[in-house]
Amino acid sequence: MTEENTTIPNKDEVEEHKASAQNDTTSNLDETTADKEENESEQEEEELSVEEKLSQELETQKDKYLRLFAEFENYKRRTSKERIDLFKTAGQEVMQAMLPVLDDFNRALKEVSKSNDKAIVQGVELIYNKLNDTLKAKGLAEFKVSVGDVFDADLHEAITQIPAPTEDLKGKIIDVIEVGYTLGEKIIRYPKVVTGK
């Protein structure tokens, strides 16, 4: 057997070794505590960032929802207005096609009323009134224009100008050539008039 050289440490070395070990343990504990705190703060940051992300996503979705809702409300309002306008003027083309017939009927009634046969006059008047009442029920109305009214280019169509018979008729309507009509609130045919200059 061989003898080993063993040296017994002196008291100062032992204390130094103990202090070093204690420092190592303390530093290891400090490092572990620091690591734990760092991990916990990272987890808190991750949790906060997840919460923040979810919060931001929720706000984005709310914003999208509100915009979509507002857009849909505008769409509903617009389509209901268009539908109402369409119902008001649904028969505009038919009414405009009937206006020359109504004009011819007016002229025929004037000529028939000159006849001595009262039965014919009554029959034509009856048919005229029925046609007129039916068209009125559908929203057609005569645009009222009288001689002496002030000419308005937005409401009347001037066919010609003639010298005014009196000073007070200058710039006013002297004669109505063709009656105008409205369908609901919309003018579908402007009255044709003669103005004084």
What pLDDT was estimated at residue 186?
A: 85
CA distances from 120 to 49, 104, 109, 113, 115 (A): 94, 17, 10, 9, 8
97-130 pLDDT, tens digit each: 889 999 999 898 888 888 888 898 899 899 999 9
67-99 pLDDT, tens digit each: 999 999 999 999 998 888 777 667 788 888 889
Domain count, the chain: 2
Q: Looking at residues 181-190, what average pLDDT do you find? A: 88
The tokens describing 5, both together, are: 């050289």
Query: What value does the mean pLDDT of the chain take?
Result: 82
Residue 1 pLDDT grade (very low, low, confident, very high; cuts 50, 70, 90): very low
CA distances from 180 to 76, 126, 135, 144 (A): 35, 23, 14, 8
Q: Are residues 182 and 101 in the same domain?
A: yes
CA distances from 151 to 124, 163, 167 (A): 34, 15, 15
- Coil, strand, or helix at residue 7? coil
Strands ordered across the beta sheet of 173-178: 157-162, 192-196, 173-178
What pLDDT was estimated at residue 58?
A: 92
Q: Are residues 139 and 173 in the same domain?
A: yes
| Residue 182 maps to a domain | yes
- Residue 15 pLDDT more than 70? no
Q: Are residues 65 and 150 in the same domain?
A: no
Residue type, 141: A
What CATH number did the domain enclosing 185 receive? 2.30.22.10
Q: Are residues 96 and 155 in the same domain?
A: yes
Residue 24 pLDDT grade (very low, low, confident, very high; cuts 50, 70, 90): low
| Residue 19 maps to a domain | yes
pTM over cut 0.75 = no
Q: Are residues 191 and 102 in the same domain?
A: yes
Q: Are residues 33 and 49 in the same domain?
A: yes
User: Where among 70, 88, 106 does a domain terminate?
Assistant: 88
35-59 pLDDT, tens digit each: 666 666 666 666 668 888 888 999 9
- Domain range enclosing 114: 89-196
Q: Are residues 36 and 76 in the same domain?
A: yes
What pLDDT was estimated at residue 66?
A: 93
Residue 42 CB: number of other CB atoms within 10 A? 10
Which residues have a Cβ under 8 Å from the Cβ of 175 and sit 6 or more positions away? Answer: 147, 193, 194
Query: How many percent of the chain have pLDDT more than 70?
Result: 75
User: Where among 88, 121, 143 does a domain terminate?
Assistant: 88
Residue with tokens 């202090």: 19
Distance CA 176, CA 180 (A): 9
Q: Are residues 102 and 190 in the same domain?
A: yes
Asked if 138 and 89 touch (Cβ cutoff 8 Å), the reply is: no
| Residue 2 maps to a domain | no
User: Where among 41, 56, 88 does a domain terminate?
Assistant: 88
- Residue 61 pLDDT more than 90? yes
Distance CA 55, CA 50 (A): 8
| Residue 4 maps to a domain | no
Q: Are residues 139 and 188 in the same domain?
A: yes
Residue with tokens 């105008």: 180
| Residue 133 maps to a domain | yes
Q: Looking at residues 142-162, what average pLDDT do you find? A: 89
